[in-house]
Structures are given as structure tokens and as C-alpha cells.
Structure 1
């Protein structure tokens, strides 16, 4: 049946505007003004984005199954101790789904590309908050339970989430209140200083991750003696930390394609490996959180900070509202931009100016 479908053409890096270029990826690009139908059809043909999409779309259903299992079998809504796990699993469903949608529809236009990835960044920062809420509830070492740092941990994580989304969006667009015109693309950080933009984006996500994991790093690497929560779950935490470190390394270095540009355009480039390692890391993180939650429950209920609506569901809803507000703020200049007049399916996208595509 697929043989009867006419798939969209793919292009080389020299045939698409600069805003769509990926570091050391030479071929496999989709049309820079693809229709929504073409974007969906591209899921079933080999492009440089195909595996990026599927490596996050399929795991979404695995995490959704885990979420439904917790909600239905552990009566989550009746037991506040389970609320942080529910929040974490919701974030585990949202971030790969947002990522797969962003990669699917990012070639509809340069404007759509920016907005798609704004939502992707918001979803990742929400996942960071979900991790922090579960760590506060289940992972903090005994020695730090109910300490001053523990009480300040969630408010700081909320602030980090908001800063993370704002910085990541800024790394693409710059200040959202600048007046939009045909030449503003030249003032985008991503266009003007792509290396600075990448460094800023790495920092935007590395900082919340490092902060969220302070109690875990202390527990598994530094703490000795009584109150260190040295149990069988730590091996799962080691797996998660190793995979998270590898994920960050792949995102920052663009290896292996940087060593052999063009050789990994379709299969094996860093963003695909980044997705796979990220999902595997999240899987082990989830397993570790679940095991800590079960094995430490009696001690946590007696000695740790009580789980309330304010430090779980309330903090989550507050962050969702702020993140959506930030995304809207950064998207408004793009939505009010002039609409390009180039035909949607020009056979030779390189004949249209990069500036024209950037305002679409």
C-alpha cells in the first residue's frame, strides 16, 4: 500500500535555507514549506528526521501505559503519597510526545519550526520539574530529610523550570518584544551567533538537571555513614546518571556525524542517539523512583516533608501556566510576522531567499 503513495522529495543542505540546517547533516532534508500532510507522510519515508520522530513517539505510549497503570491500580487520586509519581509520569508522556510533534511539523515553515521547538523546550522543562518533585518526595537521602535545603528545593525547582523555558526560547528568537519585520531573522541569536545559541540552550537544560540531582549526587557519590540511604535502588540511579550524562554529551558534541559529515544523515546521528539514551535514562529513572517510593515509604511518611497539593499538583499547575505564558510571549512576534508569498511546494527551495522563508 505504501508503494502507491507519492512521498515528498528530500533535499540536500544547499537546497534549504540556513534556518533549517543541522550541524554536519548534509542530506535528507524535507521541503522547508511542507504541508501538514507531507509532514505526516514523511514519517513513513527515510529522512534525517524520521528516526528522531519515532524514537520519541513510540516511548510516549510506554510511559502512558505506566501512567494509566499507576492511576488505575494504585488509586493515585486517593493517596497523596502517589501524586509526585503521577506528575513525573505525566511529564514522561509529554516531553517525548512534544519532541516527536516538533520534529514532525517543524518543516512547515521557519515560523512553525520556532514555535514547535518552543513547546518542545517547555515540555523538557516540565519534565525537569516532574523529576524534582519526585526526588523531593522519594529520593532525598535520610540525612537531608526535612532540612532547610529540602524545604527550599521545590520553590527553586519551579524557578529553574521557568528560567529554563525562557532561556531556551531566547536562544532561538531573542527578546520577544522586539518589533518583528522582514529582517529580524538576522537578529535571532540562532542566526547571528549559532554557537552562542547552542551553548545557551545547553546551559538552559544542564543547570536545572544539575540542581535537581544535587540530593541524588550527594546520596550516591558523596554521602557516607548513617543516613545515606544506601540501598538496592542506587544501582538504578547509577544507570540513569550514566545515560543522562551520555545524552548531554551527544547533544553538545554532535558526534559521530561531526567526524564524518554526510555519513550519518539518516541513521546513527547524534540527535537520534540523544533521543534513545534520553528515553533509556528516563526508564531507569522511573524504575528507581518507583523502587524508592515503595521501599522507603514508611520512613518517608514519618520523617520527610509531607506531600501536599501545594508542593506537588499546585507547583505543577503553576509551572504549566507560566511555561505556556512564556511560549505565547515568544510566539506572538512570529505569529504577527508577514506571510511569505512563495508557493508552498516550489520544486527548488533554494531559489527562494532564506530571509523569505525565515518570516514564514
Structure 2
């Protein structure tokens, strides 16, 4: 006889530690000490995290298909003009993949929860840099091409991606040397949750706003010649609208804040935030590819040369530094002074006996 797979139980908000509780979500929590198997099995039952995973895991495959289409259909290795698009599409694959993994395995322990989301933040920072690289080469208004702003745009975007990762990681637990021994009660998740939330919002809104300065000028402010008015502008408007809606949902926790408990499993803000973010990325991807195709003849003549250092080099630098930041914030979580003292006491008692 075939054995029946037993799905993990779910809990109410009062049955899980504060570090695992979500604002205005009352039920549908997984066990805070779930095994990896339990985490995977929970994807096939309805919890408050199930749709958080699937709303990012499934779009990952769509973005990956788009990336592979570019790799196999265009001369990406010899045509430098395609490199920013390649990096942008790679970042589009990484951020939903990292998010779905974080939501899947974040209930294995308090430590794993923090580390999972550290990597999630790093992937979002990479996505911001990928967007900046694509905007620098394909979206920049004609009047700004080769300007001082254009020259320093990518270096500042690299710096912003690093600061974004550091600030987002800091928003969870504070500065590593200041970690206390109680992983359940650290700054800022439990003691100052609103401050941590504000830091996280700033960590990702600032790079987005900076990256989109050329686009905001091109769409809303530029008048006359050199404004780069083409078919992609309407797609850029859709992306901007959905991006701001995404940020609004993340910041306000609507609609569950209006009716706590009603949207625990389906329809809460984080699910809507994921859906709007993915659709925004879809329109962004289409707009960038359209700008890339339509503006290619003009950009080949007037834009600065695309280099390996300014594209792949900048991306690798950002990834290495961000990984270093994640390790910096994660390493202290593997060391518990309390556990060390207990071990030393047991060793001393054993020697006396």
C-alpha cells in the first residue's frame, strides 16, 4: 500500500515566536522549527506563505525563458550592445528565485529566517543594478547621453546597490557587533519593528528612484527635441504605475490591516506586492527591449562604447561586495555565547567527575 504523505500542521499567530509574526496576519503559520522537507511539503497546502512562494517561483521560469531566448537568439558574446540586457534579465531571474527560496525555508529556524532574507535583499539590490545598466544604455534620454550624469550614473548605481544590501540587512538585526545573545529578541525586528520596516523601505525605494531619474525626466518633464518619444514610453508608464503600487502595498499592509484575519491565506498585501512587482518587471522588460531595438542606430553613433568593465565588471563587483555584506551580518548568527558557556560548564563538570 502507498503511504499517505502527512502535511505539516499550521498555527495561529500566538503559537509562533514574535520574529515569525506578520502584521495583521492571524493564522496559517508554519512551525518555526520546520525541517527542509516540511518546508517543501508546505508548498502544497494553504498557509500564509504558500502564495508568496508560487507568485515568485513561477515567474522565475518565465524570466529564465526570456533570458535564454536572448542568449540563444542573439550574439551576446560578441555583440557588446546586448550585454546590459543580458545582465538585466539575469537579475530579473535572481530576485524572484531568491524570494521564493526565502519564503520556502524561512521557518526552519530564527537564524535561517534572517539569512534567507539577507540573500533576498541582495538579489533585489542586484535587480536594481541590472535595471540601471539597462537604463544607462537603452533608456537614457537623447539630451542626457554623454552628460556628466550619464558618466557617473552606473558607478553611483553600483554604490547604491551595496548600500541597499547593507541597509536592508541592518534593518533586521542591527549592527553585528551589537547582536545580543537572544536571537528571538534582537533589534530591529522585535524591539523596533516600525523602524526596521522604514529602513527596509528606504533601502529599496532610494535605488529605484535614482535608477528611474532618466525615465521620469523622459516621460514626465522633457519637452521638445531630444526627449526620446517612441512606442516604449507607454510601456514605461505601465511599469512606473505598477512599481509605485508595489511599494504602496509593501508599506501599508493593505488590505489585511483593515480586516485582520480575513486575508491570512489569500489576498494579503505581500501576495499582491509580489504579483504587482512581477507584472511591473514584465512591462519594464518589454519597454527596455523595445528601446533597445528602436534606438540602436542612434545609440551606436552617439552613445559611449559599452565595455566589459562597465557592465559585467560592475555587476561582479556589486555581487562580491553584497555577498561580503551578507556574510558579515550572517556570521554572528552561527555563534551563541550562551551556548558556548553552557558547553564549557558541562565540560568542567565532566572533568570534576
The alignment partner of 1:28 has SS state of coil
The TM-score normalised by the length of structure 2 is 0.94
Moved more, 90-99 or 190-199: 190-199
- The aligned residue for residue 105 of structure 1 is 105
Structure 2 residue runs without a partner (length 5+): 340-353
The alignment partner of 1:5 has SS state of coil
Is the counterpart of residue 56 in structure 1 residue 32 in structure 2? no
Give 1:133-212 correspondences, 5 Å limit: 133-178=133-178, 180-183=179-182, 185-212=184-211
The alignment partner of 2:56 has SS state of helix
The alignment partner of 2:195 has SS state of helix
The TM-score normalised by the length of structure 1 is 0.92
1-structure distance, mates of 2:2, 2:138: 48
Moved more, 29-38 or 296-305: 296-305
Displacement of 1:190: 1.5
Displacement of 1:186: 3.4
Contact 1:125 1:164 in 2 (8 A): yes
Number of residue-to-residue matches in the alignment: 339
> Runs ≥4 in structure 1, deviation > 4 angstroms?
none
Displacement of 1:304: 1.1
2-structure distance, mates of 1:182, 1:326: 21
2-structure distance, mates of 1:79, 1:281: 28
Contact 1:181 1:337 in 2 (8 A): no
Give 1:85-124 correspondences, 5 Å limit: 85-124=85-124
Contact 2:110 2:183 in 1 (8 A): no
- The aligned residue for residue 349 of structure 1 is none
1-structure distance, mates of 2:128, 2:2: 39
Contact 2:235 2:287 in 1 (8 A): yes
The alignment partner of 1:77 has SS state of coil
Q: Summarize the Cα distance change of 1:187–1:5 in structure 2 as closer, same or farther, 3 Å threshold.
A: closer
Q: Summarize the Cα distance change of 1:26–1:339 in structure 2 as closer, same or farther, 3 Å threshold.
A: farther
1-structure distance, mates of 2:91, 2:338: 34
- The aligned residue for residue 284 of structure 2 is 285
Contact 1:181 1:338 in 2 (8 A): no
- The aligned residue for residue 351 of structure 1 is none
Contact 1:172 1:188 in 2 (8 A): yes
